[in-house]
Chains A and B, each alone.
Chain A
Amino acid sequence: MKYADEFRDPKAARALLDRIAVVVDQIGATAERPVSIMEICGGHTHAIFRYGLDKLTPPGIEFIHGPGCPVCVLPMSRVDECVELAEQPGVIFTTFGDAMRVPGTRKSLLQAKADGADIRMVYSPLDALEIARRNPDRQVVFFGLGFETTTPSTALSIQQAAAEGLENFSVFCNHITVPPPIRALLDDPHMTLDGFVGPGHVSMVIGVHPYDFIAETYGKPLVVAGFEPLDLLQSVLMVLEQIRDGRAEIENQYARVVPEHGNPVSLAAIADVYEERPSFEWRGLGEIDASGLRIRGRYAAFDAEEKFGIGYGAGPRAVAEPEGCACGAVMTGRMKPVECPNFGTGCTPEMPLGALMVSSEGACAAYYQYGGARAATAAE
């Protein structure tokens, strides 16, 4: 596959790993006193485990798995609202497959489907639009989930629906943005991060400048990274070199896909359709100011929250987190997945308690699935 296979070359990987080991030594980092690098994006977490990069890099590097998995940070109350929407008579609820197994307080979407709700998995919001065109007598709701990468797709779909006058289509907007939770993490007094691997696909939409504050205000390096193993290793090396040299800059390893200023069409569509919410709830992190988007008044007809009177507009919201769940501590890097008392016992991919065990991008599920869990057990 072009633009993928070239970035999986084992020879170059060995060279990168050797360089990484040298720079880790130069920094003086050890297993006891490691350099902490957060990969913000869940896609990077997944790639690290899928390719076994955590086991190939020297013990002086500790990867902290960031909050960049939209499914993982989705609060239970929003899942409950999805179920409520899906169970409305006449509604066809469309969603990415990722969201199907996330537990709500009552049930997951998968369970709601079994109970009779018309819930359909789609690959694209465009497919939800097509379902709306083919079912004019039904209300088709699309579960708009994801960071800046995915936001343009639903914005453009809403614009398309408006252009066609497709009145039976609406979006349940749960789009969130990357910079605010990073700022929240950096403001945390317990924070011990030394640098960041930045989300490549978010950045192809927003560009690299929204991260400037990380270097300027907080003095931490960030390297925007691609998703192939060589991309990741090269980015880790770039972060380490900055740390060694005492630099704090925003660098772009993924320039083949990420333009400095992002994608103008995407940004215009987002600005046209969405506006900031005053705050939005993140599972494990709580309410974060200006971290979520809602649909602007001019597109209210396509806003499922408005159309069905559900969600933030509907009154005070109870924050429901399962008891004993340490997702918040894991997500802020204060706890390793295996250190959670529920890991692998009260919380497994079969019966997830917390969100980090649900998505394959969640740090806990990745640990469990790709060996962190059993490797840890075997080592004991």
Chain B
Amino acid sequence: MCLGIPGQIVEITDAPRMMAMAEVSGVRREVNVACIAQGPLAGLIGKWALIHVGFAMSEIDEDEAAKTLEALRGLGEAQETLEAMAAGDAALEGRS
């Protein structure tokens, strides 16, 4: 349920109606930003939000994204170390 994708707010198009232009991979679509608006709309420009059915539903929290990624990267690096160790062991034992 609920297809949603990250888009970047690039322009305010109709402030009274809370409308702004969002961009996803070079594709633009006008979206409603009422749900993420705090203070002047111009402050939203450059921000990333989760877009669903033409509405910016939630501003993406960069710090939280970075934290999740860091944890995932940590796992990936641990994996590489393990694989390198396994390869090293194999080499020592004369396997390939």
A201-B2 CB under 8 A given contacts A12-B76, A253-B68: yes
Q: Please report which residues of chain A, range 7-39, place their CB below 8 angstroms from some CB of chain B when the two chains form the complex.
A: 7, 9, 11-12, 14-16, 18-19
Q: Is the CB of B78 within 8 A of A1?
A: no
Given contacts A152-B35, A204-B57, contact A4 B3 (CB under 8 A): no
Cα(A378)–Cα(B3), bound, Å:
32
Residue of A nearest to B5 (CB): A4
> How far is A43 from B37 in the complex, measured between Cα atoms in Å?
27
Tell me the bound Cα distance from A160 to B14 in angstroms: 13
Give the distance in Å from the alpha carbon of A152 to the alpha carbon of B32 in the complex.
Answer: 11
Give the size of the chain A interface in residues (CB under 8 angstroms): 54
Residues of A within 8 A of B69 (CB): 6-7
Cα–Cα distance between A2 and B8 once the two chains are bound (Å): 9
Report if A227-B4 is in contact (Cβ < 8 Å); known contacts: A9-B72, A153-B53, A201-B57. Answer: yes
Contact residues in B for A227 (Cβ distance below 8 Å): 4
Nearest chain-B residue to A123 (Cβ)? B54
CB-contact partner of B53 in A6, A68, A96, A269, under 8 A: A96
Interface flags, A177-213, vs B, CB<8A=1, else 0: 0000000000000000000000101101100000000
Taking the complex as formed, is A333 at the interface, i.e. its CB lies under 8 A from any CB of chain B? no
Q: How many residues on B have C-beta within 8 angstroms of the other chain's C-beta atoms? A: 43
- Provide the main secondary structure of the chain B interface: mixed
> Are A42 and B53 closer than 8 Å at their CB atoms?
no
Decide if B6 touches A3 in the complex (CB within 8 Å).
yes
Task: Please state if A146 and B25 are interface contacts (CB–CB under 8 Å).
Answer: no
Known: A3-B6, A3-B65, A15-B76. A150 touches B53 (CB 8 A): yes
- In angstroms, Cα B76 to Cα A289, docked, is 45
- Which residues of A are found within 8 Å of B42, using beta-carbon distances? none
Can you list 5 A-B pairs, Cβ within 8 angstroms, ordered by A?
Answer: A15-B75, A123-B29, A201-B52, A257-B61, A266-B35
Residues of A within 8 A of B (CB): 1-4, 6-7, 9, 11-12, 14-16, 18-19, 41-43, 68-70, 96, 123-127, 146-147, 149-150, 152-153, 156, 160, 199, 201-202, 204-205, 227, 230-231, 234, 253, 255-259, 263, 265-266, 269, 361
